[in-house]
Amino acid sequence: MSDSAALHASETARVEPQAHVEVQGITRVYPPVAGNPAVHALGPLDLTLRQGEFFSVVGPSGCGKSTLLDVVAGLAAPSEGTVRFEGKPVAGQVPEGIGVVFQEDASFPWLTVYDNVAFGLRRQGVNRGDLAARVDYAVEFMGLKDFARAYPAQLSGGMRQRVCIARTLVLKPRLLLLDEPFGALDQQTRLLMGDEVLRLWRETGATIMLITHALDEAAMLSDRVGVMSSRPGRFIEVLETGWPRERDSRIVSEEAFGRITSRLWSLLREESLAAIGGRGAKA
Ligand code: ADP
Ligand code: MG
């Protein structure tokens, strides 16, 4: 490559990628219920997710992370502010193109792995040939081929979570929202599931927003990590990791990984202490 071509390449890489999700000035206040006061759970906050990026959100327990995800997904309405996905306002329902995976194992125990994954496509009325091809692909992609006829009760927790991811993946989401999807898994399984999600992210080109309480997970998986304050949650810092797109769990042994996790922890320590009202908490 000539010098000028190299220069051009780096300039092209610096152009801001297109905004995929634009969150502006959102808050969410849960109204008073049964004598309990209203809870200001979130915001006001702004967030722009770039097309195809991997963005993680970390923050103290109860700071409004799940509330943020619900609002971005269209599962809950913001009290103020707006969310736009691919330029269109998100309101009232989950738009086509957004897939959500939750922490709880949400697989249907009475359906086989295959039928769990096929569920959404059947509801959409996808024809049998297409359905079989797409389900086979998603089942194989998530390493569940040998278990297609098994029921969730016959699988490990990590495999059940793979079923939930396959069920969402089969719908070809362009934005994947993950709310602590590996929270119930042991450390090794969590890191390996992280590799699966990175592979899925690269191969589908989807934009991902991952909510996690695990700083190592956020540091390893993300292009950017948004650190939230204690409730009402706002972003106190958004950190760029600088990882190449081709990455996997082996980066946990890199020096930069240590720097990123310790930066995340120093930001979160104060906020977490404040959230539990502990020593050293902010006034
Ligand atoms: P996180 O996911 O960061 O742990 P959440 O978004 O689940 O936090 O909750 C943020 C705050 O909003 C918490 O204080 C929680 O108790 C409150 N909250 C969440 N859901 C409701 C609800 N349906 N009604 C009232 N308060 C709620
Ligand atoms: Mg939560």
Domains of the chain from N-terminus onward: 17-88+177-182+208-275 (3.40.50.300)
- Match 């929202």 to its residue by tokens: 177
Query: Measuring from atom 7 of ligand 1, which residue has the nearest CA?
Result: 66
Output the pLDDT for position 189: 84
116, 107 Cβ separation under 8 angstroms: yes
Ligand 1 binding pocket mutation candidate from 63, 228, 229 (most atoms within 8 A of CB) = 63
Q: Is the peptide bond before 44 cis (omega within 30 degrees of 0)?
A: yes
Under the banding of pLDDT at 50, 70 and 90, the label for residue 103 is: confident
Query: Measuring from atom 10 of ligand 1, which residue has the nearest CA?
Result: 64
Under the banding of pLDDT at 50, 70 and 90, the label for residue 7 is: very low
Average pLDDT over residues 238-256: 95
Please give the number of the atom of ligand 1 that sits closest to the Cα of 68: 6
Whole-number CA gyration radius for the chain:
20
Ligand 2 (single-atom ion) residues, CB below 5 Å: 65-66
Q: How many CB atoms sit inside 10 A of residue 122's CB?
A: 12
Percent of the chain at pLDDT above 90? 74
Predicted TM-score (pTM) of this structure: 0.89
Cross-strand pairs, 10: none
Q: Is the pLDDT of residue 5 over 70?
A: no
Q: How many CB atoms sit inside 10 A of residue 168's CB?
A: 22
With CA atoms as reference, report the closest residue to 27 among 38, 12, 13: 38
The one-letter amino acid at 281: A
Output the pLDDT for position 183: 82
- Per the prediction, the chain carries an average pLDDT of 89
Output the pLDDT for position 49: 97
Using a 6 Å cutoff on CB, does residue 116 contact ligand 1? no
The one-letter amino acid at 171: L
Q: What is the pLDDT of residues 173-200, one digit of tens each?
A: 999 999 998 887 888 888 888 998 999 9
